DNA sequence: CGATTATTTGAAATCGCTCAAGTTGGGTGG
DNA sequence: CCACCCAACTTGAGCGATTTCAAATAATCG
């Protein structure tokens, strides 16, 4: 996304204007306390002081950074089980905004330090998210627009496209996807413009791979064929129709 | 326990990879095995079974993924203090290769599960690396080639470009950088081609911002001016000549 | 010193971006 | 229920940054 003050302001507005006042950041300091955030609400902003670590129970949240000229990059989309909100320097390194209504648990660091079990789970999650980020870095650094869109859609389909993909079940190979992100958010997640996102979705539609009933409701008619477009399938896997990639991040568990 | 907590806290406060206390220090038990890797040697490959978690003591390692058609993306460059080699599914999600001679400590999973202190430090490190990846995702998703090169060079200069940048010291504002990566590795790290990397370095040279004595030895003549090209400075900061970004990852601590 | 590889440089092609309409869809009020 | 509005999305045309392809030059190593 490009530049200008307007764009920057528009981006900032989408979060706080659509709904309620900022859930004044960092209200939840009680150890292990449950917190609920409405859809499209800002949780904290880059530069804010860090209070606690959050783990998502349900819903999904996008973490993003803004360049000074207004360009935005969605750096992570976190969902159930994922953790966020901590930073080694006690200042948030990015902003957080819910995509849908979201429930989190807020942990005080002292609690984490006292509970090895909790800490172990936290570490496992962190590694998982690190691997997901590796995958995303690869997408951003080396994949074409079409491959990015295909990868994005595949990540929205549960149990498919991973190394444990069971392949088509039954006769057809359909999947229904409900997007929790606008075109603009998808674009900023995939490092593209909204026009490119739109055009590539249209292209998939014209090729008969998907149909788009509502803006945020997409039916994938041939999951395997879509998977071939992600750029992540080896030649051998292409012939077998299976996935070669390991530990690809699943967005399907993070949206909705 | 109190001592450990304080130590852990110190690690977090200081934040950046500049301080690199071993996560095993002050742990009475088995401190983990020391391992040494020669330059340009492969440590493991994507898909290999996970044995243990490594922490870098000295040197630097690049983590990369390969797409089936041969495209490569360097997803992370880890240096002193950083951890790598773990994966939630017990299969490496990427390959690891040393850039220079590197010393690591290898930790067993069981050791981590038994030592909360170790685990806490591991988590702190993981968060730090997560923030660095956020920064890198932003670079890949939203920055131009010139901005990527400028950002890359800035990250190779200690104590500059961060939010704690002290600005020019003394009359000149020079810095000497020794690259531990080839053009090809830099390209695969920044999501560019070798030609684009080369062209942009040449451009910086022609503009008098840097000079390149040997292929891997670059002198930055005006650090502040280079910093202006990273795309990470706000208008206000540009005028002040200071950095607005928070918790930017420092490559200077990770190379050579 | 020659062979080999890495890097630089040039010219042409291309993919994605920018700018500018046009269209759709959800919400509001008559 | 319909007309209208506004924001979000789609579509089109032209442009430009980066890639691709193809040398030429520089560095490295026996």
Whether B237 has a pLDDT exceeding 70, the answer reads: no
Task: Give the closest residue to D11 (Cα–C1′).
Answer: A199
Read off the pLDDT of residues B204-214 as tens digits, 9 standing for 90 and up: 999 999 999 99
Q: How confident is the model at residue B8 (pLDDT cuts 50, 70, 90)?
A: very low
The span from the CA of B192 to the CA of B231, in Å, is 17
State whether residue A23 is helix, strand or coil.
coil
Q: How confident is the model at residue B90 (pLDDT cuts 50, 70, 90)?
A: confident
Of A65, A88, A233, the CB nearest to B128: A88
For chain B, give the percent of residues with pLDDT over 90.
Answer: 63
Whether B69 has a pLDDT exceeding 70, the answer reads: yes
pLDDT value, residue A15 = 35
Q: Which of residues 170-199 of B touch A (CB under 8 A)?
A: 188, 190-191
Nucleotides of strand D lying closer than 7 angstroms to a protein CB: 8-13, 17-22, 27-28
Whether B114 has a pLDDT exceeding 70, the answer reads: yes
Q: Does B133 touch chain A (CB under 8 A)?
A: yes
User: Which residue of chain B comes nearest to A190, CA vs CA?
Assistant: B141
Is A112's CB within 8 Å of B123's CB? yes
| Distance from the A192 Cα atom to the nearest Cα atom in chain B, whole angstroms | 8
- The answer to whether B57 touches B107, Cβ cutoff 8 Å, is no
pLDDT value, residue B45 = 95
State whether residue B92 is helix, strand or coil.
coil
Tell me the nt nearest to B185, Cα to C1': C6
User: Which residue of chain A comes nearest to B126, CA vs CA?
Assistant: A126
State whether residue A35 is helix, strand or coil.
strand
Tell me how far apart the 2 most distant CA atoms of chain A are, in Å: 56
Is A67's CB within 8 Å of B16's CB? no
Pull the structure tokens for residue A53: 């670590």
Read off the pLDDT of residues A146-174 as tens digits, 9 standing for 90 and up: 999 999 999 999 889 887 788 888 788 89
Pull the structure tokens for residue A31: 């150890």
Q: Does B69 touch chain A (CB under 8 A)?
A: yes
The span from the CA of A188 to the CA of A11, in Å, is 11
Q: Does B107 touch chain A (CB under 8 A)?
A: no
Residues 6+ away with beta carbon under 8 Å from B135: A65, A93, B245, B247, B248, B249
- The answer to whether A161 touches A155, Cβ cutoff 8 Å, is yes
Whether B22 has a pLDDT exceeding 60, the answer reads: no
Q: How confident is the model at residue B2 (pLDDT cuts 50, 70, 90)?
A: very low
pLDDT value, residue A154 = 97
Task: List the single best residue of A1, A63, A85, A93 to mutate versus B (max B Cβ within 10 A).
Answer: A93
Backbone angles phi, psi at B19, to 5 degrees: -80, 130
Nucleotides of strand C lying closer than 7 angstroms to a protein CB: 6-11, 15-20, 25-26
What's the mean pLDDT in B128-151?
Answer: 97
pLDDT value, residue A21 = 35
| Distance from the A6 Cα atom to the nearest Cα atom in chain B, whole angstroms | 15
| Distance from the A68 Cα atom to the nearest Cα atom in chain B, whole angstroms | 5
Q: Does A233 touch chain B (CB under 8 A)?
A: yes
Indicate if CB(B113) is under 7 A from strand C: no
Read off the pLDDT of residues A205-234 as tens digits, 9 standing for 90 and up: 999 999 999 999 999 999 999 999 999 987
Cβ-based contacts of A81 with chain B (< 8 Å):
none
Question: Is pLDDT larger for residue A11 or for residue B162?
Answer: B162
- The answer to whether A99 touches A60, Cβ cutoff 8 Å, is yes
Phi-psi region of A86 (alpha: psi -120 to 50; beta: other; left: phi over 0): beta
Distance B250 CA to D5 C1' (A): 50
Is A68's CB within 8 Å of B234's CB? yes
Q: Containing H/E element for B83?
A: strand B83-84
Indicate if CB(B144) is under 7 A from strand C: no
Q: Does A219 touch chain B (CB under 8 A)?
A: no
Angstrom distances, CA of residue B89 to CA of A77, A127, A161, A169? 20, 10, 16, 25
Angle of helix A194-206 versus helix A183-190 axis, rounded to 10 = 100
Pull the structure tokens for residue B88: 């939630």
Indicate if CB(A65) is under 7 A from strand C: no
Whether B24 has a pLDDT exceeding 80, the answer reads: no
User: Which residue of chain B comes nearest to A148, CA vs CA?
Assistant: B141
Cβ-based contacts of B18 with chain A (< 8 Å):
none
Please report, to the nearest 10 degrees, the dihedral formed by the alpha carbons of residues B164, B168, B174, B180 taken in order. Answer: 0
Sheet holding B102-107, edge to edge: B33-37, B102-107, B53-58, B83-84
pLDDT value, residue B251 = 60
The span from the CA of A107 to the CA of A55, in Å, is 8
Bridge partner residues of A34 (DSSP):
A105
The span from the CA of A86 to the CA of A50, in Å, is 6
- Residue stretches of chain A with pLDDT short of 70: 1-31, 235-256
Of A94, A119, A129, the CB nearest to B119: A119
Whether B14 has a pLDDT exceeding 60, the answer reads: no
Pull the structure tokens for residue A54: 């959050």
């Amino acid at each position: 996304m490009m530049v200008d003050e307007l764009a920057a302001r528009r981006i900032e507005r989408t979060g706080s204007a659509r709904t309620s006042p900022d859930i004044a950041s960092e209200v939840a300091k009680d150890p292990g306390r449950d917190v609920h955030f409405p859809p499209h609400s800002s949780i904290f902003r880059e530069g804010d002081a860090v209070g606690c670590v959050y783990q998502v129970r349900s819903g999904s949240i996008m973490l993003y950074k803004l360049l000074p000229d207004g360009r935005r990059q969605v750096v992570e989309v976190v969902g159930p089980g994922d953790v966020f909100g901590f930073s080694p320097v006690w200042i948030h390194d990015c902003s957080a905004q819910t995509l849908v209504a979201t429930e989190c648990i807020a942990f005080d660091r002292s609690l984490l330090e006292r509970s090895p079990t909790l800490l172990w789970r936290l570490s496992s999650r962190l590694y998982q998210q690190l691997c997901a980020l590796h995958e995303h870095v690869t997408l951003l650094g080396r994949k074409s627009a079409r491959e990015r869109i295909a990868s994005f859609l595949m990540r929205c389909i549960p149990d498919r496209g991973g190394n444990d993909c069971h392949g088509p079940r039954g006769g057809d190979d359909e999947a229904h996807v409900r997007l929790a992100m606008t075109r603009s958010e998808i674009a900023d997640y995939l490092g593209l413009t909204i026009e490119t996102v739109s055009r590539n979705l249209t292209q998939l539609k014209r090729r008969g791979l998907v149909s788009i009933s509502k803006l945020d409701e997409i039916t994938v008619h041939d999951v395997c064929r879509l998977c071939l477009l992600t750029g992540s399938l080896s030649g051998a896997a292409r012939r077998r129709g299976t996935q070669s990639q390991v530990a690809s991040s699943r967005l399907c568990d993070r949206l909705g």
